[in-house]
Amino acid sequence: MPPSTSQKILFSGMQPTGELHIGNYLGALKNWVALQHEYECFFTIVDYHAMTIEYDPKDMPERVKNLILTYLSTGLDPEKCHIFIQSHIPEHTELAWIFNTITPLGELERMTQFKDKSDQHRNNINAGLLTYPVLMAADILLYKTIGVPVGEDQTQHVELSRIVARKFNKLFGKTFPEPKVMLTPTPRIMSLAEPEKKMSKSRGEKHYIGLFEDPDTIRKKIMSAVTDSSAGAKKMPAGVENLFTILTACGAETSLVANLMEHYNEKTLQYKDLKSAVADTVIAMVEPIQTKRKNLEQNPGYVTEVIMNGTETARAIAQQTIKEVKQKCGLL
């Protein structure tokens, strides 16, 4: 599909770090699927970003392919959006270098994700971990993006891309729009085991529900979710609130949610009933995604074709922008 520059452009991406969880889906991917019908969308697999954490090169091709299959099985349609791999388009790193020269170091040092990841990976605090949001700004601005659909934890990075756009425009002349973050109604799904923290795979098995986990595992994980908090008393416990959030976001009937909520308010709710309803709803939501994925796996040629087409379209725009940028910077 050729690009139509008249349309408003959205851009987002995910790292190929393994199987996605329902937080990734409800916080970002599900939104992409809806937005592809309204905007010209570019969705990428950010393999360069994934290199900032220690990894085995042997696994990378499989991880990338897995994420493409996940994108397609959740409903991204290559007829409606452009899907490509970040490292296939060298203009991303070219622009990132230029942005490195105008990004204040202090802005990068205060990024919460940088602080968290530096704590988690003390033996590998590489420069890429610090400049990660600069590459992300390059990803976004290369396409003159106006909106970035992501989960809440990426808001600070999108904000940085606005700072970079503003600074570039001021120094070299108006070039980039300032992109806005686009959140879903559930921008932060919480962990099942520690509901005060966001759902994340790195915390361990019992904390998340994988999009491709089998129904029995999903049910077991939900049935053992933490519901009571020691804080107790008046406020709804974080774990219960999270289960209600997941229930609604996964498409449960409003009458079912209302009924469970009524029981909660009357203090007659059995948490096992709430959990059982959540398990049924999550399983019903992932079932068609899992089936679609099995079908797609039968046709590896299709994945290659999708990426080839997506790359071609994205590269044409990337080359145009980098030319303009280099001219403005006095490099051409």
Out of 27, 133, 147, 210, the only residue in the binding site for ligand AMP (CB under 6 A) is: 27
Nearest residue (beta carbon) to ligand AMP: 27
Scanning 184-270, the segments in alpha helix (DSSP H) are 215-223, 238-249, 254-265
Q: Considering the complex, what minimum distance in angstroms separates the CB of residue 217 from ligand AMP?
A: 18
Active-site position among 65, 117, 144, 221? 117
Q: What is the DSSP letter of 212?
A: T
Of 238 and 325, the one with the shorter C-beta distance to ligand AMP is 238
Interface stretch with ligand TRP, choices 135-143, 226-234, 289-297, 319-327 (CB under 6 A): 135-143
DSSP 89-152: -THHHHHHHHHHTTS-HHHHHT-HHHHHHHHHTGGG--HHHHHHHHHHHHHHHTTT-SEEE--G
Q: Which does 199 bind (CB under 5 to 8 A by kind): ligand TRP, ligand AMP, none?
A: ligand AMP
Contacts of 75 (CB under 8 A, 6+ apart): 33, 289
Catalytic residue check, 180: no
Q: Which does 198 bind (CB under 5 to 8 A by kind): ligand TRP, ligand AMP, none?
A: ligand AMP
Q: Give the Cα separation of 297 and 294 in Å (integer).
A: 5
Q: Give the Cα separation of 321 and 325 in Å (integer).
A: 6
Q: Give the Cα separation of 320 and 91 in Å (integer).
A: 10
Q: Catalytic amino acids?
A: 117, 198, 201
**Which stretches of the chain bind ligand AMP, using CB under 6 A?**
14-15, 17, 23-24, 27-28, 150-151, 153-154, 187-189, 198-200
**Which stretches of the chain bind ligand TRP, using CB under 6 A?**
11-15, 46, 49, 136, 139-140, 148, 150, 154, 157
